[in-house]
Amino acid sequence: MVKETIRVYARVKPLGRRQQAGSYSVDDEEDPLSSLEITVPRDLADGFVNNKRETYKFKFQKIFDQEAKQDVVFDSIAKPVAECVLAGYNGTIFAYGQTGSGKTFTITGGAERYSDRGIIPRTLSYVFDQLQKDSSKMYTTHVSYLEIYNECGYDLLDPRHEASRLEDLPKVTIMEDSDQNIHLKNLSLQQATNEEEALNLLFLGDTNRMIAETPMNQASSRSHCIFTIHISSKEPGSATIRRSKLHLVDLAGSERVAKTGVGGHLLTEAKYINLSLHYLEQVIIALAEKNRSHIPYRNSMMTSVLRDSLGGNCMTAMIATLSIDKRNIDESISTCRFAQRVALIKNEAVLNEEIDPRLMIVQLKKEIQDLKDELELVTGKQRTSELTQEELLQLDELIETFLKDNDPDSTLDVGADMRKIKYCFIHMKQLVNHPTNSDKKLLSQDISEEEDTNKELRGEELKKLKHLLQQRDDEINILINMLKKEKKKAQDAVSQLNATSACSSALEQSVSINLEDRQSLSSCFSLKEAKDFSSSIHRLPFLSRQTGGKMSLGCQEAFEVFKRDHADSITIEDNKQLLKQRFAEVKCLGEKLNEVRSKINRLKGEITQRHIQRAALAVSSPSEELNMFDPVEEKLRMQIEEEKKSYKTMFNRFKGLKVEIEHLQLLMEKVKMKMQKDFEVWWSEEAKNLQHEKPEMVTSPNTVTAYPRFIKSLQHLPANSFSETTRVSPNEDPDGKNNSITFSNPTLKTRIPPSSSTSIPLTGDSQADADILAFIKARQRILQKKGLENK
């Protein structure tokens, strides 16, 4: 059992260009903790923070200042926790701080550069690396990804869904068993056998998370996300399984409601979030207090889920993310205060071991067999589970003599054999319950002869006997069936065990570089794999969704322009270039690997040649010793070893590149999807503005928004425009009853003559034309705005 306090770290987000730094200083010299001092300017102290103090000092395990890189953060915070999880303990890392302070950046990572990947992808990489290195155990890994929003849980890894709203995802509920253990119903645990599969799942969850976020619900800042890696391990042949899980938690923004300045629907959400963080705080306070027996975990879903990860059996680390610009000083102080309370909690992590019942059966059977063998050795007799016919007869005789004997001191001695003792008891029981004719004679010899000769009674006895016989037969059959079943179960367990170990050894084999196996080698770097990377993205189920139909012309053109002007297009371009570079590198490496392989084969050929020559020499002049040391062969062998070494180094680099390419492609996909979402929002806003400007275009006075119609047209975007189409539901009007705006209204054409505003010819298709006009109008507005800005 390991007892230690929760480790609390702080990370300061780099300042934005227009932000003004608040006054703070970091002191790393103090041992063993670092301290952060925040100074509040007088004017702020008078206003926002209602007391006289000006400087605040907080202690942290370590403070990561603005320039700290993701790899350093991972090495200091996550690696030690991941190591504990690999050893069989539970672990939790959670990020706490106001919206925009860098929680998601720290936990998941930035969406642009490979080097910006956060704790989750780095931990996955580290964990799978370690698992691969340890061949002494058999490991199984699963991941789950839960989002909690407004006190409801949603499974982000649901592969069937093409979720466009959070509510489309499976709802996760909490169940508590009689031992007060928490179970999450409906949360899928997806198996991941390697880093690549786990990363794909992470991106599936992240994309679901992003898609589900609409302008109305900025879910990411108001929801908690918990990514969990579940590991179970077992030594071959052992019945003990170790299970551990690592929760990586991105909490909702901790900002106070008053500051967000929202109302209505959003306020309800903000309250919820604050409430659940408030409950988290209560749990933390209760845990930090000595002698508190009741910890209010049940108050919110999040505290229930993290129940065994906060105060219980867990290695826990917290990262307080701080946005130290002037305006956010008060929020940063309250984040630090929370962190100081968390630092007081002591956790007790214990190993999570349990017994596998199937393996237990196998072990017990073996033990029984060993004991039987031992007994045989001692008694000199072979012992089966059943008595022989001869032994049974002997016992019957002994029982009969015993019963007949009137001497009160007489005993029935069958020896120290449980089978015989049991048989005697059963026999006696039968005699008491169903005294048969002959037994009756035994039991009471002085019963008159007349009774024995009673024919009627005999018939009845016979019937009874037959019935008894039938009963025994049935019993025997049932027992035989049971035995057969047990035997089969035991066999299955053994064969399954064999299959598992065969499977894992096959896996190990395939992982280790087998230089002998030409086939697998050539397929290893035939560059087929490089192409596979690009298609791997389509393995994400919802990404393979086909977009049917055609996108309207206006919408398409608008999107092209939007794409060009979008800030993320630079990121996409950069990443494209990087990908190109990486592909070239992979190709080059593949070629080199091929060369090394041929070289090794050539050297091997030379050795064989050498063997043949020496054999021939031995035939022609037998005096030559065939087994004599051959320096030439030795040299060839050394060369092969060297080539193998360089092959291994190159192959490792090849694998690293593979992961990087995969990651970059997923990042690009994410950015593209984000762009598409931004476009939808922009497009719908433009449509709304247009509508306000030209109320006469609208046929119905009830019209609320043009949003649904544009979204409808977006659904027909061709596959090459985006890899994914998002549907955003018309929130204000779920039934769509009020969507009476029609751009095909003939008045539209007459009011805005196409020739005066654009050179794009109208198509004649009223819907497409309406979209074109809407787009032109929107573009004019933008140009106007730009013009104003330039002035």
Residues that bind Mg ion (CB under 5 A): 103-104, 220
Report the residue number, 13 or 777, with the smaller CB distance to ligand ADP: 13
Give me the least distance between CB of 229 and ligand ADP, in Å please.
20
227/647 with CB nearer Mg ion: 227
Q: Considering CB distances under 5 to 8 angstroms, the limit depending on partner class, which of ligand ADP, Mg ion, none binds residue 590?
A: none
**What does 304 bind: Mg ion, ligand ADP, none (CB cut-off 5 to 8 Å by kind)?**
none
The smaller minimum CB distance to ligand ADP, of residues 300 and 323, is found at 323
Cβ-based neighbours of 698, under 8 Å, separated by 6 or more: 691, 740, 741
- Strand-pairing partners, residue 155, are 146
**Residue 725 interaction partner, one of ligand ADP, Mg ion, none, beta carbon < 5-8 Å per kind:** none
Strand partners, 60: 34
Task: Name residues whose C-beta falls within 8 Å of residue 729's C-beta, 6 or more positions apart in sequence.
Answer: 164, 165, 214
* Shortest spacing between CB 93 and ligand ADP, in angstroms: 14
Nearer to Mg ion, 103 or 122 (CB): 103
**Cα angle 509-511-515, degrees, rounded to a multiple of 5:** 75
Biggest CA-to-CA distance, the chain? 133
CB of 89 to ligand ADP, least distance (A): 27
> Counting beta carbons within 10 angstroms of the beta carbon of residue 248, is it exposed (0 to 12), middle (13 to 18) or buried (19 or more)?
buried
The residue among 209 and 242 lying less far from Mg ion, judged by its C-beta, is 209
Q: Which two tokens stand for residue 406?
A: 């009137």
Report how far residue 43's alpha carbon sits from residue 54's, in angstroms, rounded to the nearest whole number.
10
- Give min distance, CB of 104 to Mg ion, in A: 3
- Supply the minimum distance, in Å, between the C-beta of residue 13 and ligand ADP: 4
Mind spelling out the 3-state secondary structure of 10-76? EEECCCCCCCCECEEEEECCCCCCEEEEEECCHHHHHHCCCCCCCEEEEEECEEECCCCCHHHHHHH
Nearest residue relative to ligand ADP (C-beta): 102
Nearer to ligand ADP, 568 or 680 (CB): 568
Amino acid identity of residue 230, one-letter, is H
- State the nearest-atom distance from the C-beta of 222 to ligand ADP, in Å: 10
CB of 105 to ligand ADP, least distance (A): 3
User: Which residue's C-beta sits nearest to Mg ion?
Assistant: 104
Contacts of 487-490 spanning 24+ positions with Cβ under 8 A:
489/361, 490/361, 490/362, 490/365
**Min separation Cβ 95 and Mg ion, Å:** 8
Q: Which does 777 bind (CB under 5 to 8 A by kind): Mg ion, ligand ADP, none?
A: none
Q: Given the rule CB under 6 A, which residues bind ligand ADP?
A: 13-14, 97, 99-105, 110, 221, 253, 321
Residues 6+ apart with CB under 8 A from 670: 111, 203, 206, 207, 210
For the CB of residue 676, give the shortest distance to ligand ADP in the complex, in Å: 18
C-beta atoms surrounding 563 within 10 Å: 17
What value, to the nearest 5°, has the Cα angle with vertex 581 and ends 576 and 583? Answer: 90
Smallest gap from Cβ 36 to ligand ADP, in A, equals: 16
The one of ligand ADP, Mg ion, none whose footprint includes residue 110, by CB under 5 to 8 A per kind, is: ligand ADP
**Based on CB atoms, which residue is closest to Mg ion, 104 or 552?**
104
Least spacing, CB of residue 324 vs ligand ADP, in Å? 12
Out of Mg ion, ligand ADP, none, what residue 101 binds, judged by CB under 5 to 8 A for its kind, is: ligand ADP
Q: List the single partner that 614 binds among ligand ADP, Mg ion, none, CB under 5 to 8 Å by kind.
A: none
Nearer to ligand ADP, 26 or 657 (CB): 26
Work out how close the CB of 11 gets to ligand ADP at its nearest, in angstroms, rounded to a whole number.
Answer: 7
Residue keyed to tokens 């539901």: 729
Q: Least Å distance between CB 729 and ligand ADP?
A: 24
Q: In a 3-state reduction of DSSP, which class is residue 174?
A: strand
Strand, helix or coil for residue 418: helix
Cα dihedral across residues 754, 760, 765, 770: positive or negative: negative
Task: Select 307 or 672, whichever has its Cβ closest to ligand ADP.
Answer: 672
263 close to 237: Cβ distance less than 8 angstroms = no
Buried b (16+ CB within 10 A) or exposed e, 505-524: eeeeeeeeeebeeeeebeeb
CA distance 591 to 595: 6
Go through the chain and tell me how many residues it has: 791
Give the separation between CA 546 and CA 558, rounded to whole angstroms: 21
Which one of Mg ion, ligand ADP, none interacts with residue 656, CB within 5 to 8 A by kind?
Answer: none
| Chosen from ligand ADP, Mg ion, none, partner binding at 125 (C-beta under 5 to 8 Å by type) | none
Judged by beta carbon, residue 92 or residue 220, the one nearer Mg ion is 220
Give the count of beta carbons closer than 10 Å to the beta carbon of residue 180: 9
Picked from Mg ion, ligand ADP, none, the partner binding residue 100 (CB below 5 to 8 A depending on kind) is ligand ADP
Residue 116: CB minimum distance to ligand ADP, A: 7
Nearer Cβ to Mg ion (108/742) = 108
Indicate the residue among 677 and 777 with the shorter CB distance to ligand ADP.
Answer: 677
Selection from ligand ADP, Mg ion, none that 14 binds (CB < 5 to 8 A by kind) is ligand ADP
Backbone angles phi, psi at 318, to 5 degrees: -120, 140
- Burial code (b: 16+ CB inside 10 Å, e: under 16) for 31-50 equals eeebbbebbbeeebbeeebe
Spatial separation of the C-alpha atoms in residues 249 and 107, rounded to whole Å: 7
- 99 or 141, CB closer to ligand ADP? 99
Which CB sits closer to ligand ADP, 88 or 100?
Answer: 100
Write out the two tokens for 746.
């003939």
